[in-house]
Amino acid sequence: MTGLDLDQLLQRRVRDIPDYPQPGVVFKDITPLLADHTAFTAVIDQFVGHYGAGTVDKVVGIEARGFILAAPVAYHIGAGFVPVRKKGKLPAATYEESYDLEYGQATVEVHIDAFRPGDRVLIVDDVLATGGTAAATAELVRRAGGVVVGVSVLIELTFLGGRSKVPGLDVHALMAV
């Protein structure tokens, strides 16, 4: 698959939903992409190919859409899968990180035994917006003993400057808006 083909698939299969979940937000809906086998596999192959099989020990998926992308990346890159979830969802002992949203706060958690010391960790999510979620997740990985090798997202909303929240980390986006 060429880069141009992937760009076209992404343009076609990521749907803008204006004013969802609140007025003023344009929600990037990836469900058409997930339902298209060619587009879905092309995306997973790109994520895996950027780092390469065997370069990562754990792939972290961020609840909820990050899970859908991170699990097949983990399978193909030859790594384990680790969920980062919203507060209160993980059953065992956790580390938690809170961060600011436009209105209010959010808290994410990871199991304290999710990583072995020095595990190389790739963080995967659907959208990088303000970067708060990715930054909190990177901090959770570090606290739990992992080493973040990068952050892979399907879509980067560049106008929100989320990259600046994860300085020094490789941010790999398949589509920039």
CB of 146 to ligand AMP, least distance (A): 19
Q: Is 96:126 a contact under the CB 8 Å cutoff?
A: no
Q: Is 21:27 a contact under the CB 8 Å cutoff?
A: yes
82, 129, 166, 171: residue in contact with ligand AMP (rule CB under 6 A): 129
Contact string 151-170 vs ligand AMP (x = CB under 6 A): -----------x--------
120, 130, 143, 172: residue in contact with ligand AMP (rule CB under 6 A): 130
CB of 170 to ligand AMP, least distance (A): 16
CA distances from 33 to 6, 20, 21, 126, 136 (A): 11, 18, 20, 11, 27
Binding status of residue 83 toward ligand AMP by CB under 6 A: no
Cα(68)–Cα(83) distance, rounded to whole angstroms?
11
Count Cβ atoms below 10 Å from residue 22 Cβ, excluding itself: 9
Binding status of residue 28 toward ligand AMP by CB under 6 A: yes
Q: Which is nearer to ligand AMP, 94 or 133 (CB)?
A: 133
Active site residue 65: yes
Cα(31)–Cα(66) distance, rounded to whole angstroms?
12
Q: Which is nearer to ligand AMP, 23 or 117 (CB)?
A: 23
Active-site residue, selected from the candidate residues 13, 15, 97, 102: 102
Q: Which is nearer to ligand AMP, 51 or 99 (CB)?
A: 99
By DSSP bridging, strand 80-86 and strand 26-29 are unpaired
Binding site for ligand AMP (CB under 6 A): 25-28, 62, 65, 125-134, 162
